[in-house]
C-alpha cells in the first residue's frame, strides 16, 4: 500500500476566536473570509414585547480559511448573549489567539468590549488584534485613539479600523493577527536545548 506518505503529510490547523459585543460584526467577519459555508447557529433575538427584528448567534459561528498548504485557520465566533457566556471558555480552549471586534457605531458598547477582552486575556496569554468595525465616515485617527484608551489596550496589541463586510479588510486584520503571533513567539523564551529527555523518538 502506498498510503504511508499521505498519512505523514499532516496539515496543521489553528483556532482563532472572533469575539466582541452584540451586533459588532463577528458573524459578518467570519462569513466574509471563510472558504467554506459558515456554520451559524443564529436565532431571532427576543426583545420582550417587540417582534424580533434581528438575529443573533446563540452558540457559535464556525468558518475556515487556508493560510497556506500547511496551515488552516479555524474561526470560531462567540455568541453575544450573556446566557451563552459559558460557551466562551469552551471556544477559547487551545486558541492561538483572538480577534476582538469593537463597534464604532455604538461607543457605549466599549465597556462591554473591554469586559469581553479581559475575560479572554484571563483565560490565556495569547496574541490578539482589535478591529474597529462600522466606522462609517468617522475619523480613523480619533477612533483608534479613543478605542485604545477605552479598552485599556496595551501598546503591544495591534488595533485597526476595518469594514468587516470587505474581504480585503478582513484579510488585513488576519495578517495583522498573524504578525502579532510572530511577535509573541519572538518574545517567548527560546526553546530549551532538548537532549533526548522525554522524547519518544
Ligand atoms: N454599517 C455597517 N454595518 C455593518 C458592518 N459590519 C456589519 N454590519 C451589519 O451589522 C449587523 C450585525 O452584524 P453581525 O455580524 O451579525 O454581528 P454579531 O452579532 O457581532 O455577529 C448586520 O446587519 C451587518 O450587516 C459595517 O462595517 N458597517
Ligand atoms: Mg453573530
Q: Mutate which of 20, 21, 24, 25 to test ligand 1's pocket (most atoms within 8 Å of Cβ)? A: 25
88 close to ligand 1 (CB < 6 Angstrom): no
The parts of the chain modelled with pLDDT lower than 70 are 1-10, 45-53, 57-59, 81, 190-201
Q: How far away, in angstroms, is 124 Cα from ligand 2 center?
A: 23
Inter-CA distances, 124 with 7, 76, 173, 186, Å: 32, 16, 20, 17
8 A C-beta contact, residue 139 and residue 110 = no
Instruction: Output the pTM of the full model.
Output: 0.84
Q: What is the pLDDT of residues 133-144, one digit of tens each?
A: 999 999 999 999
Q: How far away, in angstroms, is 35 Cα from ligand 2 center?
A: 18
Q: What is the pLDDT of residues 42-63, one digit of tens each?
A: 777 665 545 555 777 666 789 8
Q: How far away, in angstroms, is 50 Cα from ligand 2 center?
A: 20
Amino acid at each position: 500500500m502506498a498510503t504511508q506518505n499521505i498519512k505523514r503529510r499532516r496539515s496543521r490547523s489553528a483556532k482563532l476566536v472572533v469575539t466582541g459585543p452584540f451586533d459588532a460584526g463577528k458573524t459578518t467577519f467570519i462569513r466574509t473570509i471563510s472558504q467554506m459555508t459558515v456554520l451559524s447557529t443564529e436565532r431571532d433575538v427576543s426583545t420582550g414585547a417587540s417582534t424580533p427584528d434581528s438575529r443573533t448567534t446563540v452558540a457559535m459561528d464556525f468558518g475556515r480559511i487556508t493560510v497556506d498548504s500547511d496551515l488552516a485557520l479555524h474561526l470560531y465566533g462567540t455568541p453575544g448573549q450573556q446566557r451563552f457566556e459559558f460557551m466562551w471558555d469552551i471556544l477559547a480552549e487551545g486558541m492561538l489567539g483572538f480577534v476582538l471586534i469593537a463597534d464604532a457605531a455604538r461607543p457605549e458598547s466599549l465597556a462591554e468590549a473591554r469586559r469581553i477582552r479581559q475575560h479572554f486575556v484571563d483565560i490565556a496569554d495569547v496574541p490578539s488584534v482589535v478591529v474597529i468595525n462600522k466606522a462609517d465616515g468617522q475619523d480613523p485617527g480619533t477612533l483608534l485613539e479613543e478605542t485604545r484608551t477605552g479598552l485599556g489596550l496595551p501598546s503591544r496589541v495591534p488595533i485597526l479600523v476595518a469594514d468587516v463586510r470587505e474581504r480585503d479588510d478582513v484579510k488585513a486584520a488576519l495578517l495583522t493577527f498573524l504578525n502579532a503571533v510572530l511577535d509573541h513567539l519572538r518574545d517567548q523564551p527560546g526553546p530549551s536545548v532538548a537532549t533526548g529527555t522525554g522524547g519518544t523518538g
